[in-house]
Protein backbone atom coordinates (compact mmCIF):
# COMPACT_ATOMS: atom_id res chain seq x y z
CA UNK A 1 0.00 0.00 0.00
CA UNK A 2 3.01 2.30 0.46
CA UNK A 3 5.95 3.33 -1.66
CA UNK A 4 9.03 3.66 0.56
CA UNK A 5 11.09 6.84 0.13
CA UNK A 6 14.15 8.31 1.83
CA UNK A 7 15.11 7.46 5.39
CA UNK A 8 14.73 10.32 7.88
CA UNK A 9 16.33 8.71 10.91
CA UNK A 10 17.42 5.44 12.44
CA UNK A 11 17.75 4.08 15.97
CA UNK A 12 18.73 0.74 17.50
CA UNK A 13 15.26 -0.78 17.10
CA UNK A 14 13.44 1.52 14.71
CA UNK A 15 13.76 3.71 11.65
CA UNK A 16 11.66 6.50 10.14
CA UNK A 17 11.23 7.02 6.42
CA UNK A 18 9.13 9.06 4.03
CA UNK A 19 6.38 7.02 2.35
CA UNK A 20 3.77 7.71 -0.30
CA UNK A 21 0.41 5.96 0.06
CA UNK A 22 -0.43 4.53 -3.36
CA UNK A 23 -4.19 4.84 -2.84
CA UNK A 24 -4.27 8.64 -2.48
CA UNK A 25 -0.69 9.61 -3.50
CA UNK A 26 -0.23 11.45 -0.20
CA UNK A 27 3.12 11.69 1.61
CA UNK A 28 3.53 10.54 5.22
CA UNK A 29 6.27 9.58 7.66
CA UNK A 30 6.38 5.93 8.70
CA UNK A 31 8.09 4.63 11.80
CA UNK A 32 9.11 0.98 11.49
CA UNK A 33 9.71 -0.75 14.83
CA UNK A 34 11.51 -4.11 14.90
CA UNK A 35 9.22 -5.87 17.34
CA UNK A 36 11.06 -9.20 17.31
CA UNK A 37 14.17 -7.67 18.88
CA UNK A 38 12.34 -5.67 21.53
CA UNK A 39 11.79 -6.52 25.17
CA UNK A 40 8.23 -6.84 26.43
CA UNK A 41 8.46 -3.33 27.93
CA UNK A 42 9.65 -1.82 24.65
CA UNK A 43 6.86 -3.56 22.74
CA UNK A 44 4.38 -2.01 25.16
CA UNK A 45 5.99 1.39 24.53
CA UNK A 46 5.49 0.97 20.79
CA UNK A 47 1.83 0.04 21.22
CA UNK A 48 1.46 2.89 23.69
CA UNK A 49 2.68 5.33 21.05
CA UNK A 50 -0.15 4.24 18.74
CA UNK A 51 -2.81 4.52 21.44
CA UNK A 52 -1.65 8.00 22.41
CA UNK A 53 -1.26 9.29 18.86
CA UNK A 54 -4.67 7.97 17.88
CA UNK A 55 -6.33 9.90 20.69
CA UNK A 56 -4.76 13.29 19.91
CA UNK A 57 -5.86 16.06 17.57
CA UNK A 58 -3.96 19.34 17.74
CA UNK A 59 -2.15 21.49 15.13
CA UNK A 60 1.05 21.41 17.20
CA UNK A 61 1.13 17.62 17.64
CA UNK A 62 2.24 15.23 14.88
CA UNK A 63 -0.95 13.57 13.60
CA UNK A 64 -1.47 9.81 13.57
CA UNK A 65 -2.86 8.16 10.43
CA UNK A 66 -2.78 4.37 10.76
CA UNK A 67 -0.71 1.40 11.92
CA UNK A 68 -0.14 -2.17 10.76
CA UNK A 69 2.08 -5.16 11.53
CA UNK A 70 4.23 -6.54 8.72
CA UNK A 71 4.63 -10.31 9.19
CA UNK A 72 7.42 -10.52 6.61
CA UNK A 73 9.72 -8.03 8.32
CA UNK A 74 8.28 -8.51 11.83
CA UNK A 75 7.89 -4.74 12.13
CA UNK A 76 5.18 -2.56 13.59
CA UNK A 77 4.60 0.28 11.12
CA UNK A 78 3.18 3.56 12.40
CA UNK A 79 2.07 6.00 9.70
CA UNK A 80 2.13 9.63 10.76
CA UNK A 81 1.84 13.14 9.42
CA UNK A 82 5.00 14.19 7.61
CA UNK A 83 6.67 17.43 8.70
CA UNK A 84 8.33 18.62 5.49
CA UNK A 85 10.93 21.00 6.97
CA UNK A 86 12.88 18.71 9.29
CA UNK A 87 13.28 19.30 13.01
CA UNK A 88 14.69 21.95 15.34
CA UNK A 89 17.88 19.98 16.00
CA UNK A 90 18.73 19.94 12.29
CA UNK A 91 18.13 23.72 12.10
CA UNK A 92 20.41 24.24 15.11
CA UNK A 93 23.18 22.20 13.41
CA UNK A 94 22.86 24.30 10.25
CA UNK A 95 23.18 27.51 12.30
CA UNK A 96 26.17 26.05 14.17
CA UNK A 97 27.98 25.51 10.87
CA UNK A 98 27.09 29.02 9.71
CA UNK A 99 27.83 30.50 13.18
CA UNK A 100 24.48 32.21 12.94
CA UNK A 101 22.07 32.78 15.84
CA UNK A 102 18.32 32.46 15.42
CA UNK A 103 16.36 35.70 15.32
CA UNK A 104 14.41 36.45 18.48
CA UNK A 105 11.11 36.40 16.56
CA UNK A 106 11.89 32.86 15.33
CA UNK A 107 12.67 31.70 18.87
CA UNK A 108 9.41 33.14 20.26
CA UNK A 109 7.47 31.58 17.40
CA UNK A 110 8.96 28.13 18.07
CA UNK A 111 8.50 28.46 21.84
CA UNK A 112 4.86 29.51 21.74
CA UNK A 113 3.87 26.70 19.38
CA UNK A 114 5.74 24.11 21.47
CA UNK A 115 3.91 25.36 24.58
CA UNK A 116 0.53 25.24 22.82
CA UNK A 117 1.14 21.59 21.92
CA UNK A 118 2.50 20.73 25.35
CA UNK A 119 -0.44 22.41 27.08
CA UNK A 120 -2.76 20.20 25.02
CA UNK A 121 -0.87 17.07 26.12
CA UNK A 122 -0.94 18.11 29.77
CA UNK A 123 -4.65 18.95 29.62
CA UNK A 124 -5.13 15.38 28.44
CA UNK A 125 -3.04 14.09 31.37
CA UNK A 126 -0.15 13.10 29.13
CA UNK A 127 3.49 13.70 30.05
CA UNK A 128 5.76 13.63 27.02
CA UNK A 129 8.90 12.73 29.05
CA UNK A 130 11.34 12.96 26.13
CA UNK A 131 11.06 16.48 24.73
CA UNK A 132 14.20 17.51 22.86
CA UNK A 133 15.09 19.55 19.80
CA UNK A 134 15.28 16.37 17.68
CA UNK A 135 11.59 15.59 18.13
CA UNK A 136 10.18 19.06 17.60
CA UNK A 137 9.26 18.96 13.92
CA UNK A 138 8.77 21.78 11.44
CA UNK A 139 6.56 22.27 8.41
CA UNK A 140 7.34 24.65 5.56
CA UNK A 141 4.11 26.53 6.30
CA UNK A 142 5.62 27.59 9.66
CA UNK A 143 3.84 25.10 11.92
CA UNK A 144 5.81 23.53 14.78
CA UNK A 145 4.78 20.04 15.90
CA UNK A 146 5.72 17.87 18.87
CA UNK A 147 6.40 14.26 17.90
CA UNK A 148 7.93 10.97 19.05
CA UNK A 149 5.51 10.10 21.84
CA UNK A 150 6.72 6.54 22.39
CA UNK A 151 7.83 7.16 25.99
CA UNK A 152 4.90 9.40 26.89
CA UNK A 153 2.87 8.47 29.93
CA UNK A 154 -0.83 8.91 30.52
CA UNK A 155 -1.21 9.57 34.22
CA UNK A 156 -4.18 9.97 36.51
CA UNK A 157 -2.29 11.09 39.60
CA UNK A 158 -0.02 13.54 37.80
CA UNK A 159 3.15 11.80 39.04
CA UNK A 160 5.56 9.42 37.36
CA UNK A 161 8.68 7.71 38.65
CA UNK A 162 10.33 5.75 35.82
CA UNK A 163 13.68 7.02 34.56
CA UNK A 164 13.29 7.90 30.90
CA UNK A 165 14.13 10.59 28.39
CA UNK A 166 17.34 11.95 26.90
CA UNK A 167 20.17 12.88 29.36
CA UNK A 168 20.76 16.52 28.35
CA UNK A 169 17.06 17.39 28.59
CA UNK A 170 16.06 15.46 31.73
CA UNK A 171 15.11 17.45 34.84
CA UNK A 172 16.85 17.21 38.25
CA UNK A 173 13.99 15.25 39.83
CA UNK A 174 14.30 12.60 37.12
CA UNK A 175 18.02 12.19 37.83
CA UNK A 176 17.38 12.05 41.58
CA UNK A 177 14.88 9.22 41.00
CA UNK A 178 12.19 11.32 42.66
CA UNK A 179 8.55 11.15 41.52
CA UNK A 180 8.06 13.87 38.92
CA UNK A 181 5.14 15.63 37.28
CA UNK A 182 4.37 17.75 34.23
CA UNK A 183 7.08 20.23 35.26
CA UNK A 184 9.71 17.81 33.89
CA UNK A 185 8.39 18.59 30.40
CA UNK A 186 8.61 22.33 31.10
CA UNK A 187 12.25 21.87 32.15
CA UNK A 188 12.94 20.14 28.83
CA UNK A 189 11.32 23.07 26.98
CA UNK A 190 13.69 25.36 28.87
CA UNK A 191 16.66 23.33 27.62
CA UNK A 192 15.33 23.54 24.04
CA UNK A 193 14.81 27.31 24.43
CA UNK A 194 18.39 27.76 25.68
CA UNK A 195 19.62 25.63 22.77
CA UNK A 196 17.76 27.89 20.34
CA UNK A 197 19.39 30.96 21.92
CA UNK A 198 22.96 29.63 22.11
CA UNK A 199 23.09 26.66 19.67
CA UNK A 200 24.20 24.40 22.54
CA UNK A 201 22.58 22.72 25.53
CA UNK A 202 22.89 24.52 28.88
CA UNK A 203 24.26 21.60 30.89
CA UNK A 204 27.20 19.50 29.73
CA UNK A 205 29.79 17.14 31.16
CA UNK A 206 32.68 14.92 30.13
CA UNK A 207 30.78 11.96 31.56
CA UNK A 208 27.29 11.16 32.81
CA UNK A 209 28.17 11.82 36.47
CA UNK A 210 29.44 15.33 35.69
CA UNK A 211 26.44 16.03 33.48
CA UNK A 212 24.00 15.02 36.22
CA UNK A 213 25.90 17.16 38.75
CA UNK A 214 25.66 20.21 36.47
CA UNK A 215 21.95 19.62 35.84
CA UNK A 216 21.29 19.43 39.56
CA UNK A 217 23.27 22.64 40.15
CA UNK A 218 21.15 24.35 37.50
CA UNK A 219 23.80 26.89 36.54
CA UNK A 220 24.31 27.89 32.91
CA UNK A 221 26.05 30.58 30.89
CA UNK A 222 24.05 33.69 30.00
CA UNK A 223 22.54 33.98 26.55
CA UNK A 224 23.61 36.69 24.11
CA UNK A 225 22.86 40.27 25.14
CA UNK A 226 21.35 40.80 21.70
CA UNK A 227 18.24 39.04 23.03
CA UNK A 228 15.65 40.95 25.04
CA UNK A 229 15.11 40.98 28.80
CA UNK A 230 11.75 39.29 28.17
CA UNK A 231 13.48 36.31 26.59
CA UNK A 232 15.99 36.14 29.45
CA UNK A 233 13.16 36.29 31.97
CA UNK A 234 11.10 33.54 30.37
CA UNK A 235 14.20 31.34 30.16
CA UNK A 236 14.89 31.74 33.89
CA UNK A 237 11.25 30.96 34.73
CA UNK A 238 11.12 27.84 32.54
CA UNK A 239 14.35 26.44 33.99
130 is catalytic: yes
Q: Cα 25 from chain centroid?
A: 28
Spatial separation of the C-alpha atoms in residues 221 and 141, rounded to whole Å? 33
CA dihedral 87, 113, 49, 173 (to 10 degrees): 100
**Torsion 56-83-142-225 (CA) sign:** positive
Which residue among 130, 148, 181, 230 is the active-site one?
130
SS3 of residue 93 by DSSP: helix
Q: 122-152: buried (b, 16+ CB within 10 Å) or exposed (e) per residue?
A: beeebbbbbbbbbbbbbeeeeebbbbbbbbb
The neighbouring-strand residues paired with 217 are: none
DSSP secondary-structure letter at 185?
Answer: H
Spatial separation of the C-alpha atoms in residues 224 and 180, rounded to whole Å? 31
CA dihedral 219, 225, 227, 232 (to 10 degrees): 30
Find out whether 223 and 231 touch, Cβ atoms under 8 Å. Answer: yes
Spatial separation of the C-alpha atoms in residues 67 and 47, rounded to whole Å? 10
Q: Any idea which residues carry the catalytic annotation?
A: 130
Amino acid sequence: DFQIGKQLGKGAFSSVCVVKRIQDNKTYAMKRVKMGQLSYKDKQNALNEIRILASLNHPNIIGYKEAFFDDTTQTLNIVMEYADDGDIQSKIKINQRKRLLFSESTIWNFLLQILHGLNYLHENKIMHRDLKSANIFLSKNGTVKIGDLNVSKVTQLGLASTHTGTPYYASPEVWKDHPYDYKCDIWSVGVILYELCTLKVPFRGTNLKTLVKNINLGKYESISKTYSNDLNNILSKID
